[in-house]
Amino acid sequence: MSLHAGMAALRAAKQTLRREIKQRVAALGGDEKLRQSLVVSQQLFKHPKYVSCNRIAVFLSMDDEVRTDVIIKDVFKRGKSCFIPRYNSNSSHMDMLKLSSLQDMESLPLTSWNIRQPAEDDNSREEALAAGGLDLILMPGLGFDKAGNRLGRGKGYYDTYLERCIQHPKGKPYTIALAFKEQLCPKIPVDDNDVLIDEILYEDVE
């Protein structure tokens, strides 16, 4: 198979899997999503990497993702520095910008995806890599396998950002994905640009 044909097959496999996972998560009720989110949050709060981190990046959750509002509250309660994504809608570029408080988060503008993020022209915030880097990144995603492979939404924001982290003097932060158990797959199709995740937290009922 030529390289081009191989890439096309991989893209098609990812698209099919994205559709399947989206259907599985869409079938979950709001109460069940919240229940699993709280289970995963409690796992995180006991995790040594979370307990010891000072600078953490947290995504602001969309409806089909593990809720992170309880986590963000805990980050501020513990006095950690909290950074959140600002996605550039025209490219795969993302920055992690510092939040000063819960009130600060609640005052951010809403994007077309209905999530809050600092405005494009908000240049007053510290970008994580411009200063002390990050200790821990909490990763969203559509699907995951137990080997640490992640299926994103296809924009490449986190893979591109982790490449930037690797260039930072502090090096690559520890990465923890937060998942509903319905987002776990036997195997995620990946290519060389996909960055492995260190750990995935989900409700393990086995």
99 is in an annotated binding site: no
Asked whether residue 141 is marked as a ligand-binding residue, the answer is no
155 is in an annotated binding site: yes
- Residue 158, marked binder: yes
CA pair distance 29, 43, nearest whole angstrom: 22
Q: Is 29 annotated as a binding residue?
A: no
153 labelled binding-site residue: yes
Please tell me whether 156 is known to bind a ligand: yes
60 annotated binding-site participant: yes
Kindly give the pairing relationship between strand 55-57 and strand 199-201. Answer: unpaired
Would you list the DSSP string of 25-62? HHTS-HHHHHHHHHHHHHHHHH-HHHHH-SEEE-PPP-
Q: Which two tokens stand for residue 167?
A: 């260039």
- 202 annotated as ligand-binding: no
For 58, the token pair is 């947290």
Does 183 belong to an annotated binding site? no
Strand order across the 174-178 sheet: 94-99, 81-87, 55-57, 136-139, 174-178, 199-201
65 is in an annotated binding site: yes
Residue numbers in the known binding site for substrate are: 60, 65
Residue numbers in the known binding site are: 14-18, 60, 65, 150-158
Residue numbers in the known binding site for ATP are: 14-18, 150-158
